[in-house]
Structure 1
Amino acid sequence: MFKKVELQKGVTVYLRKTEQFKTITMSIKWKSELNEKAAAYRTVLSNVLQDSNGKYRTQSELRKALDELYGTVFYMDNGKRGHSHIVSLNMECINDEYLTTEGVFDEALQLMHTVVFSPNFVDGAFEPSVVEREKRTVIERIRSVYDDKTRYAQKRMLELMRPNHPASISSNGTEEDVRSLTREALLSTYESMLNKDEIDIYVVGDIQEEEFIEKIKSLFPFQAREVAERKSNVVQHEKGDVQQVFEKQDMKQGKLQVGYSTPITFDHPDYAKMVVTSGVLGGFAHSKLFMNVREKESMAYTINSIYSSHYGIMYVLAGIDPELEEKAVKLIGEQIDALRNGNVTQTELDQTVGLLSNSIRSAFDSARSQIEVYDQYKRLSENFTAEQLIEKWRSVTIEDVKEMASQLELEIVYLLSEREA
């Protein structure tokens, strides 16, 4: 799918030459070990780098430059995957072939070079007012989770299941760490990211591959670096040791989270089987949770299951009336028992595989999604294609679903509900 070119140890370019799009999309990804303080610092850094730089010292100047490049899209973001924290610099511009002028892509590359290597410095460090403004922005983002009760309940469940573990660490860090960030610490974070992070550079579009590689070598002369392998650290859960946690806030609808542990992770040979199992359980409108808990018993306003493969966790999320918690948990458990007993029809299995297949195929309708999907799945195979994964899903049997369901161990029941009057 992508052609791999190693520029330096730890610095790799992935190219996808295609006429599918009239644009050229590029993404530079910096990856490092995930920890809470570093996540906070790196999140602020990505905001600061996106805000302005040494050439375009205000947001309005930068927006004007992008407009002059025929509306070139530029943004930075951050996230986590497994034990890695990822900062991305993303750009999408029109291919010169579709313009009457030339050199737009080269100018867009030059702008990316400026963002990376010519930050908005004052007295040898990042511009103070920009740093403080972006710290406030990140703090607001962190606080926003408390206003979304479903996200908050999920956050609390993961903190209880996996305290001080990548599964429960926010990719934005904590408000306390953001507040403590100094200009000096931000500069150190910037230098570490450029010189120590694993770097993957992606490009999708109708490009001249060799010419592009030479431009990347010239504009982004990253030095070689050591890259530590970050493997999944799955917590082994003792059977029968189930946490029950009930918390109350000012709210209306109860938010139920039921967490299960599993030894089947993203790297496991049975990963594809567990993806299908989660889909049959609660991934779609035909799933057992939706049909039996929501539709048949009217016990949940919303319900679905999520398989967090990098951490060996599957959890069920449901919006319920708090007084129905015990019945809802019992009914959720019965749906998993049904899978363990093989009470799954071939139609349920076929519908699940069909919807999973449509989902990953539709991701390839955008260059950005192609990059994100490949960046995740290349860990399984550098020759990854959507069809390879679809074939694995198609090979899953009802017996496989039984086996995967038997690997789920109930670990926590968490309910967030309204305060008593």
Structure 2
Amino acid sequence: MAIASDLIRKIPGCTLHIVPTDKYKTNTIVFKMKAPLEAETVTKRALLPYVLQNSSHKYPTTPSFRSYLDELYGASFYVDTAKKGENHIISFTIEIANEKFLSDSEPLLEKAIALLSEVIFHPNKNGESFSSEAFTNEKRSLKQRISSVYDDKMRYAATRLVEEMCKNEPYALDASGKMDDLESITPESLYTYYVQALKNDQIDIYVIGDIQEERTEQLIKTYINLEERTPVSSKSVQKHPGEANEVIETQDIKQGKLNVGYRTNVLYGDPEYYALQLFNGIFGGFSHSKLFINVREKASLAYYASSRVESHKGLLIVMSGIENENYDKAMRIIHEQMKEMKEGNFSDDELSQTKAVVKNQLLETIDVARGLVEILYHNVVAGTDISLDEWLEKTEQTTKEEVLSIAKKVELDTVYFLTGKEVEA
């Protein structure tokens, strides 16, 4: 089954990825900016896309911007920041109806690209400073987003595990930035950073939909004008843990959060990556996994128990919610499931079922254009070129021996327990 892949064109200052497909009824344009994840810039990068979206030269207020989106047959516009490995990614996404399905054939693709250009390259500014009103509003919103992590204990525990596990590594930084940095950021300092980021970041533009390649490339060249650059790339920091670190934190909570971090020593793009995905699926990634069945179902110890892989950092994270007094029991069962994996105690049926779920998950992800972009963008971050067809094929070909080989590489790094009472370590 052939799946749409990106046709890559180098244009001044960026890489254009055109994905012609009739799978979607809309056209989607995504503008991605990648730079190393750094303490000095993380909060500015977290704030920047929201300020740009909030107030451009042509649409200085949110109501005026949203009104224009409505005129474009209800187009959607999103901004986002995320981290992938030691990279900090800013994304601008616009999704718009395909003009082929409209009776008046309005040039919607061109208008969408023009709007994206307006937001990114023509901010509402006073000299060398962002508009103070937009800046103040978005700074307040970011402050609330950072604060909200503390109130969401599941997310808080996940964040704290990574902070402890990746101390002195860029990955310890949260993509949403640091509260301590917010006060010192001004409309002027953020604008200065914005100019630097547009000049230095690695930029990739994705256009997905029932589109013509040549016309799409010409539209991007017309509206997106960037200087040539040599972006700074970041290398994934890989660490071999010594003795496992245990961190117990006490707060006034009823349900404990037990998160466990492992180093997998495998990254996206490595030949063993497909086996790692299957290892995670059997261990804790899905509802048929060992963690779900043994920690949650059989022992009734956890409200939730699952694991996930950080593809560009080489981490495996176990997340569970337990009663405070069940810490030792839960840890014992988690260790037992990992031991089972390392000894190859999983069946061919479990492997086959996991292959099917991994493949279905991939296919579900690309049901929406933004999901397809995220899958394709893995290659940019990793500096590799793996097609979706290859991903599916290699997953199917992976053997039990290869999964077992991965299991033996996985190393326990950090245990983090957020509890409502004192627990003896």
* Coarse TM-score class (shorter-chain normalised): over 0.9
Q: Following TM superposition, by how much is the alpha carbon of 1:143 offset from its aligned partner in structure 2, in angstroms?
A: 0.9
Partner residue in 2 for 1:350: 352
Partner residue in 1 for 2:324: 322
- Tell me, what secondary structure is at the counterpart of 1:266? coil
Amino acid at match of 2:157: A
Note the 1:82-101 alignment, pairs <5 A.
Answer: 82-101=85-104
Q: Following TM superposition, by how much is the alpha carbon of 1:381 offset from its aligned partner in structure 2, in angstroms?
A: 7.8
Partner residue in 1 for 2:115: 111
TM-score by structure 2 length? 0.94
* Preserved contact between residue 261 and residue 314 of structure 1 (Cα < 8 Å): yes
Partner Cα distance (2:263, 2:100) in 1:
52
Amino acid at match of 2:386: F
Partner Cα distance (1:408, 1:22) in 2:
43
* Preserved contact between residue 295 and residue 334 of structure 2 (Cα < 8 Å): yes
* Preserved contact between residue 40 and residue 172 of structure 1 (Cα < 8 Å): yes
1:80 aligns with 2:104: no
Q: Following TM superposition, by how much is the alpha carbon of 1:123 offset from its aligned partner in structure 2, in angstroms?
A: 4.0
Change (3 A) 1:210 1:264: same
Partner Cα distance (2:262, 2:211) in 1:
46
Q: CA RMSD in A?
A: 1.6
Partner Cα distance (1:30, 1:378) in 2:
11
Partner Cα distance (1:372, 1:98) in 2:
26
Amino acid at match of 1:91: I
Greater mean alpha carbon deviation, residues 139-148 or residues 371-380 = 371-380
- Tell me, what secondary structure is at the counterpart of 1:78? strand
Partner residue in 1 for 2:309: 307
Greater mean alpha carbon deviation, residues 156-165 or residues 136-145 = 156-165
Change (3 A) 1:311 1:249: same
1:42-90 per-position Cα deviation (integer Å, ceiling 9, x unaligned): 1211111111211111111111111111111112211111111111111
Amino acid at match of 1:53: S
From 48, 52, 60, the equivalent of 1:45 is 48
1:221-250 per-position Cα deviation (integer Å, ceiling 9, x unaligned): 111001233221111212xx1212211111
Note the 1:53-64 alignment, pairs <5 A.
Answer: 53-64=56-67
Note the 1:247-258 alignment, pairs <5 A.
Answer: 247-258=249-260
Partner residue in 2 for 1:288: 290
From 135, 147, 150, the equivalent of 1:131 is 135
From 232, 243, 250, the equivalent of 2:236 is 232
Partner Cα distance (2:63, 2:206) in 1:
27
Partner residue in 2 for 1:201: 205
Q: Following TM superposition, by how much is the alpha carbon of 1:34 offset from its aligned partner in structure 2, in angstroms?
A: 0.9
Partner Cα distance (2:100, 2:90) in 1:
30
Q: Following TM superposition, by how much is the alpha carbon of 1:395 offset from its aligned partner in structure 2, in angstroms?
A: 2.0
From 314, 333, 338, the equivalent of 2:340 is 338
Partner Cα distance (1:208, 1:382) in 2:
26
Q: Following TM superposition, by how much is the alpha carbon of 1:119 offset from its aligned partner in structure 2, in angstroms?
A: 0.6
* Preserved contact between residue 72 and residue 108 of structure 2 (Cα < 8 Å): yes
* Preserved contact between residue 301 and residue 318 of structure 1 (Cα < 8 Å): yes
1:384 aligns with 2:382: no
1:182 aligns with 2:194: no
From 16, 22, 31, the equivalent of 1:19 is 22
* Preserved contact between residue 25 and residue 368 of structure 1 (Cα < 8 Å): yes
From 142, 145, 148, the equivalent of 1:144 is 148
TM-score by structure 1 length? 0.95
Percent of aligned positions that are identical:
37
Change (3 A) 1:24 1:3: same
Change (3 A) 1:214 1:382: farther
From 147, 160, 167, the equivalent of 2:164 is 160
Change (3 A) 1:193 1:302: same
1:400 aligns with 2:397: no
Partner Cα distance (1:415, 1:331) in 2:
15
1:262 aligns with 2:264: yes
Amino acid at match of 2:49: S
Partner Cα distance (1:287, 1:346) in 2:
13
Greater mean alpha carbon deviation, residues 114-123 or residues 246-255 = 114-123
* Preserved contact between residue 269 and residue 386 of structure 2 (Cα < 8 Å): no
Q: Following TM superposition, by how much is the alpha carbon of 1:383 offset from its aligned partner in structure 2, in angstroms?
A: 5.3
Q: Following TM superposition, by how much is the alpha carbon of 1:178 offset from its aligned partner in structure 2, in angstroms?
A: 1.9
Segments of 5+ residues of structure 2 without an aligned counterpart are none
Segments of 5+ residues of structure 1 without an aligned counterpart are none
Amino acid at match of 1:285: S
1:3 aligns with 2:7: yes
Change (3 A) 1:380 1:132: closer
From 350, 364, 372, the equivalent of 1:362 is 364
The number of equivalent residue pairs is: 417
Amino acid at match of 2:353: Q
Partner Cα distance (2:234, 2:143) in 1:
28
Partner Cα distance (2:260, 2:178) in 1:
25
Q: Following TM superposition, by how much is the alpha carbon of 1:150 offset from its aligned partner in structure 2, in angstroms?
A: 1.2
Change (3 A) 1:18 1:382: farther
Q: Following TM superposition, by how much is the alpha carbon of 1:378 offset from its aligned partner in structure 2, in angstroms?
A: 5.0
Partner residue in 1 for 2:37: 34
* Preserved contact between residue 322 and residue 417 of structure 1 (Cα < 8 Å): yes
Greater mean alpha carbon deviation, residues 257-266 or residues 87-96 = 257-266
Change (3 A) 1:173 1:88: same
Q: Following TM superposition, by how much is the alpha carbon of 1:377 offset from its aligned partner in structure 2, in angstroms?
A: 3.5
